[in-house]
Amino acid sequence: MFAGDLDGGIGGAVGWDAVPVPPLMGEIAEKGGIIPASDERAGRSCYVLENAHDVQVTSSVFFVYGDREHIRFLLRSIFVDNDDQDFVNAHLGQTADLWFIENGRRAGHVDLHSLISVYDDAGSRRVELDWLRFDELVPVALSGSVLRHGEELRLLAAHEDFAETRSNLPLLYPDTPIGYGMQVWVEGDLTDEPYEVYPDPDPAERG
């Protein structure tokens, strides 16, 4: 159990059908240079929202961002401000794990389903999130150097840090690392197809 973990809420799975640096020195740090993965300083920090399922196929959608408000934006667009009931229902059936990564290691976790309430209003489903609780559980900032556009997320101990969790990250690392932004992993293949489905909370520098 990690100190920052909070588990609970609803689980289940719905398929994603047709789914689509480290502290460096001097100028290298300013340019986002790469150092060997074996260097223990290689890990950066970020928030990773993972929607995973294992019905028919094993897959995960990863949202990898450096600011808490990026995650809030995504949750609003997926659950609260979305008029597509099928889309919302599908996500209610998937996991919604928010991982806190600090310096390349898992530092905490929130099962976001524990913050979601669902109401039926005259036959339509309405979803609300407990934003006060969100602010209490999700740190406003992470320690260490924050992951940036164009960078891969180096997880220094993915198998150890995500053992006995619902995450598919141990299946990706070390051979298929995720990076800043959105991507979907489907049984070995990693693509950026989520950009065709979800609004990007941090699009300014995406190349």
pLDDT per residue as tens digits for the range 43-101: 999 999 999 988 788 999 999 999 999 999 999 999 999 988 899 999 999 999 999 99
Bridge partner list, 182: 63
Q: Considering only CA atoms, which of 192, 183, 180 is closest in space to residue 64?
A: 180
Question: What domain count does the chain have?
Answer: 1
Q: What is the pTM of this model?
A: 0.80
Whether 121 is in a domain gets the answer yes
d(CA 32, CA 74): 26
- The residue length of the chain stands at 207
Range of the domain at 116: 4-10+42-196
CB 169 within 8 A of CB 153: no
d(CA 78, CA 195): 13
Whether 122 is in a domain gets the answer yes
Whether 127 is in a domain gets the answer yes
Whether 21 is in a domain gets the answer no
Q: Considering only CA atoms, which of 130, 175, 120 is closest in space to residue 152?
A: 175
Whether 165 is in a domain gets the answer yes
Whether 35 is in a domain gets the answer no
* Tens of pLDDT, residues 88-142: 999 999 999 999 999 999 999 999 999 999 988 777 778 999 999 999 999 999 9
